[in-house]
Amino acid sequence: MSTQTVTDASFEADVLAHKGAVLVDFWAEWCAPCKMIAPALEEIGQQLAGKLSVVKMNIDENPATPMKYGVQAIPTLILFENGQAKAKRQGALPKGQLMQWVQGAL
């Protein structure tokens, strides 16, 4: 599995200090749509390896970061590039649409 887990404590080092693009998947264990898009995000991470890192943050275990970035519904995806939030999307989408959104934001 290429998807890394980040926490409130590791967010700055893993996402904000990362050189390049990082897609953060804000999710929770009880969220069915989150589980639905997880395999697609995994594949996108593999297909765009070297250009994009995909990480997951459990909002129940890490409440500070989602609050800071205005995450009000899950799944929420936020694409960061060189420490800046560039694009944000809520809700589950098919893999093709997720890939289009990611590539359009990169």
User: Where exactly are the structural domains of the chain?
Assistant: 4-105
> In this model, does residue 40 exceed pLDDT 70?
yes
Identify whether 35 is a catalytic site residue.
no
Burial 53-82 (b: 16+ CB within 10 A, else e): bbbbbbbeebeebbeebebeebbbbbbbbe
Q: How far apart are CA 60 and CA 34, in angstroms?
A: 13
Q: How far apart are CA 102 and CA 106, in angstroms?
A: 6
Q: What are the tens digits of pLDDT across the range 48-62?
A: 999 999 999 999 999
pTM for the whole thing?
0.96
Instruction: State in Å, rounded, how far the first CA of the chain is from the last one.
Output: 22
Q: How far apart are CA 59 and CA 72, in angstroms?
A: 10
Q: Which of 24, 31, 37, 74 is catalytic?
A: 31
Q: Which of 6, 34, 38, 54 is catalytic?
A: 34
List C-alpha distances in Å: 54 to 5, 41, 78. 9, 7, 10
Confidence tier at 3 by pLDDT (50, 70, 90): confident
- Cα 94 from chain centre: 15
- CA dihedral defined by 63, 68, 73, 76, rounded to 10 degrees? -100
> In this model, does residue 2 exceed pLDDT 80?
no
Architecture of the CATH domain 4-105: 3-Layer(aba) Sandwich (3.40)
Q: What are the tens digits of pLDDT across the range 62-105?
A: 999 999 999 999 999 999 999 999 999 999 999 999 999 999 99
Identify whether 36 is a catalytic site residue.
no
